[in-house]
Amino acid sequence: MIKLYLSDGNKIWIWFPFNRDTLALVKNLPDREYDSDRRRWLAPFSALPDILEAFPHATIEPELQAMIDADQGESVRRFVDSLAMFKVSLIDRGGEIVAEGEGVSPVLQEEVDKRVDGIRALGLFQYSPSY
Q: What is the pTM of this model?
A: 0.65
The pLDDT, as a whole number, for residue 130 is 53
The pLDDT, as a whole number, for residue 129 is 57
Q: How many domains does the chain have?
A: 2
Residue type, 109: Q
The pLDDT, as a whole number, for residue 94 is 84
Instruction: Please indicate, yes or no, whether residues 55 and 8 belong to a single structural domain of this protein.
Output: yes
The pLDDT, as a whole number, for residue 69 is 87
Once rounded to an integer, what is the mean pLDDT over residues 84-110? 92
Q: Is the pLDDT of residue 117 over 90?
A: no
CB 76 within 8 A of CB 69: no
Once rounded to an integer, what is the mean pLDDT over residues 39-66? 94
CB 64 within 8 A of CB 5: yes
Instruction: Please indicate, yes or no, whether residues 72 and 121 belong to a single structural domain of this protein.
Output: yes
Domain that holds residue 95: 68-127
List, for residues 10-33, the tens digit of each pLDDT value: 899 999 999 999 999 999 999 999
Where residue 30 falls (left for φ over 0; alpha for ψ -120 to 50; beta otherwise) is: beta
Last residue of a domain, one of 17, 41, 60: 60
The pLDDT, as a whole number, for residue 26 is 97
Last residue of a domain, one of 18, 38, 60: 60
Return d(Cα 76, Cα 1) in angstroms, integer.
Answer: 31
List strands edge to edge, sheet with 89-93. Answer: 96-100, 89-93, 126-127
Greatest CA span in the chain, whole angstroms? 63
Instruction: Please indicate, yes or no, whether residues 75 and 102 belong to a single structural domain of this protein.
Output: yes
Instruction: Please indicate, yes or no, whether residues 48 and 77 belong to a single structural domain of this protein.
Output: no
The pLDDT, as a whole number, for residue 10 is 84
The pLDDT, as a whole number, for residue 103 is 83
| CA 12, 17, 18, 20 torsion-angle sign | negative
% residues pLDDT > 90 (the chain): 68
Q: How confident is residue 131, by pLDDT bands cut at 50, 70 and 90?
A: very low
